[in-house]
Amino acid sequence: MINLFLITFFFSYSWCDISEPWQLGFQDPATPIMEGIINLHHDLMFFICVISIFVSWMLARTLWHFETSQNFIASSVTHGTLIEIIWTLTPALILLVIAIPSFSLLYAMDEIIAPTITIKTIGHQWYWSYEYSDYQNEDGESINYESYMLPEEDLILGQFRLLEVDNSMVVPTNTHIRIIVSAADVLHSWAIPSLGVKCDAVPGRLNQTSLFIKREGIFYGQCSEICGVNHGFMPIVIEAVNIPEYVSWISNKLKG
């Protein structure tokens, strides 16, 4: 009985790398940046809950003790130096405590650490194209392909509506990757929640972001900038594999 329970538990467990119905929390992180975003959120929620409870308590006490039936004569106090100093310094100190991890996370998000691989992502109306310029075949051509959303009639059991593509971006795990993002026509945004990435794709401009995926999996995202009538139909799929599988995939692409 115990063995059956353990088998059921381990085989039913899966990462939340896609949005779920009625989901309120984050998707499971797969990069250090997303882990930092979630940890910062949890830290901020602590301060928010404490402040909300304290302010609600003060408001309730004020409404109770200074109600007309409790005080027939109105108070003539207009201000208090000590309390004004307290309610000025306390929020300032709280903001200072919040700013330290926040600035650290912002710096880490913008930092590009000696990338091993550079991939160029271009947004189109309405699909994505990927270029692996680090690899070239005998003719000097780099790996370049388009990624279109799979129509609903082509989906098989277990695939996700409006999120599957015909050609996903394949990347290795535990590798520093630089993503260069641009657009060919209008504004787009390349966003994958589980990876903590959201980078604007601007025509005529190259933006860059970095990835360091810690585990294998398939991660889903969507264009996050209103770009036209089919804005909701240009999903992003990233397949993170181990390095031997990635090398094999690159070799097949160069031969093909």
Q: Across residues 169-173, what is the average pLDDT?
A: 94
Collect all residues with Cβ–Cβ distance below 8 Å to 39 and sequence separation of at least 6: 101
More confident residue, 138 or 52: 52
* 73 falls within a domain: no
Q: What pLDDT digit, counting tens, does each position of 81-126 carry?
A: 888 899 899 989 989 988 988 998 988 888 888 889 999 999 999 9
Residues 171 and 105 in one domain: no
Tell me whether residue 174 is in a domain.
yes
Residue 53 pLDDT exceeds 50: yes
| Average pLDDT of the segment spanning 6-17 | 50
The residue-averaged pLDDT of 177-196 equals: 94
Please report the pLDDT score of residue 14 as a whole number: 67
| pLDDT (0 to 100) of residue 123 | 95
Kindly give the pairing relationship between strand 235-241 and strand 217-223.
Answer: antiparallel
Are 200 and 223 a contacting pair, CB within 8 Å? no
Instruction: Identify the CATH number of the domain in which residue 217 sits.
Output: 2.60.40.420
Q: What is the mean pLDDT of the chain?
A: 87
Domain count, the chain: 2
- Cα–Cα dist 28/10, whole Å: 17
Residue 192 tokens, joined: 């994958």
102 part of a folded domain: yes
pLDDT of residue 145: 92
Residue 129 has pLDDT above 50, yes or no: yes
Q: Please compute the mean of the pLDDT values over residues 45-50 and round it to a whole number.
A: 92
Same domain, 241 and 139: yes
Position 189 pLDDT exceeds 60 = yes
Same domain? 148 vs 246: yes
Q: Which pLDDT tens digit goes with each residue over 230-244? A: 999 999 999 999 999
> Which of 11-15, 111-115, 156-160 is the least confident region?
11-15
DSSP class of residue 105 equals H
Task: Give the pLDDT of residue 214.
Answer: 93
Domain that holds residue 61: 32-67+80-110
Mean per-residue pLDDT, 160-177: 92
Residues 26-48 have a mean pLDDT of 92
Could you tell me if 195 and 30 are in contact, meaning their C-beta atoms sit under 8 angstroms apart? Answer: yes
Residue 140 is classified by DSSP as S
> Is 176 part of a structural domain of the chain?
yes
pLDDT band at 8 (very low <50, low <70, confident <90, very high): very low
Please state whether 158 falls in left (phi above 0), alpha (psi between -120 and 50) or beta: left
Q: What is the mean pLDDT of residues 191-209?
A: 93
251 in the same domain as 156: yes
- Please indicate, yes or no, if residue 72 is contained in any of the structural domains: no
Residue 24, in any domain of the structure: no
Regarding whether 123 and 104 lie in a shared domain, the answer is no
Pairing between strand 235-241 and 197-201? unpaired
pLDDT number for residue 139 = 78
Consecutive H or E run containing 47 = helix 32-65
